[in-house]
Amino acid sequence: MPTNTVMRLQRTKGKHPSLHHAQSEKPVILFPAIDLKDGACVRLKLGDMAAATVFNDDPAAQALAFERQGFRYLHIVDLNGAFAGRPVNAPAVEAILKAITMPCQLGGGIRDMATVEMWLAKGIGRVILGTVAVRNPALVREACGKFPGRIVVGIDAKGGRVATEGWAETSELTVIDMARRFEDAGVAAIIYTDIDRDGVLAGLNLPSTLALARATSIPVIASGGLASMADIDALASPECAILEGAISGRALYDGRIDPAAALARLARR
């Protein structure tokens, strides 16, 4: 797959997304984020669970609001699950799935095949494997073989090194080395999060994100720090056409990004 191929998520039957090649006008996808802590929709600062701001205690209502604003795909993280190593906020996730029709991708606490299968059976479009992708890359390959197009690898980095266990630990593995582990595995996408920018509205780390996208044939989604319409304008530039999308959290919740304006600018790319 050439690195300049732009990938796009589309709805198929039910809530399962499929990816297809497109060479021209497809916009970068803007993923609104719902991070779940103790059943509520929160945002963290630099991944610190003790520094959580609650934005909505009804995640399903928040998801429905995003859908009505015109977003096409939802990004969900079970924060408690990421630390516990197992699903914790399942009731909130299930409520979201009942409330909306747009497809969702979910990460946090997915560490074995049984959990992958469970979430996909419940209607999650794509599951995100993070810590387990470092600890057990064979599971990623197995899951990709069993569920083509529905496995995403989350690469969270501090200082260019891969972090695991809900960002509590940092490995010696570089981001690009991690991505190249799965070059031929059939991974649907890589979500690259710059932890040093997450939740602090510092702006996307586009140089590092684009460097990763150029180094791998796997579609890359930018995460961490999306702060303003200036970031949206950058994502709409030809240079960023290589990216599949970007995830926005706090800037959507506090009004720094206007959903209609952001979606319109990306659509005009």
> For 204, phi and psi rounded to 5 degrees?
-65, 145
DSSP 8-state class, residue 254: T
Count the domains in the chain.
Answer: 1
Quote the pLDDT of residue 35.
95
Quote the pLDDT of residue 14.
37
Q: Which of 231, 259, 210, 269 is nearest to 33 (CA)?
A: 259
User: Is there a domain that residue 186 lies in?
Assistant: yes
Q: Which residues share a beta bridge with 31? A: 247
User: Is there a domain that residue 16 lies in?
Assistant: no
User: Is there a domain that residue 127 lies in?
Assistant: yes
> Which is catalytic among the residues 35, 78, 198, 231?
35
User: Is there a domain that residue 148 lies in?
Assistant: yes
Quote the pLDDT of residue 201.
63
> Which is catalytic among the residues 78, 156, 194, 198?
156
Quote the pLDDT of residue 16.
41
Active site (annotated) includes residue 48: no
Quote the pLDDT of residue 158.
78
User: Is there a domain that residue 5 lies in?
Assistant: no
User: Is there a domain that residue 135 lies in?
Assistant: yes
Q: Is 261 exposed, middle or buried (0-12, 13-18, 19+ CB in 10 A)?
A: exposed
Domain housing 210 = 28-267
Quote the pLDDT of residue 142.
98
- Neighbouring C-beta atoms of residue 137, cutoff 10 Å: 16
Task: Judge whether 83 and 165 are in contact, CB under 8 Å.
Answer: yes
Q: Which residues of the chain have pLDDT under 50?
A: 1-24, 166
Active site (annotated) includes residue 35: yes
Quote the pLDDT of residue 3.
33
Amino acid of residue 215: A
CA distance 88 to 96: 15
CA distance 50 to 45: 9
User: Is there a domain that residue 23 lies in?
Assistant: no
User: Is there a domain that residue 4 lies in?
Assistant: no
- Residue 129's domain is classified under what CATH number? 3.20.20.70
Q: What is the pTM of this model?
A: 0.87
Task: Judge whether 154 and 191 are in contact, CB under 8 Å.
Answer: yes
Helices 90-99 and 59-68: crossing angle in degrees, nearest 10, is 30
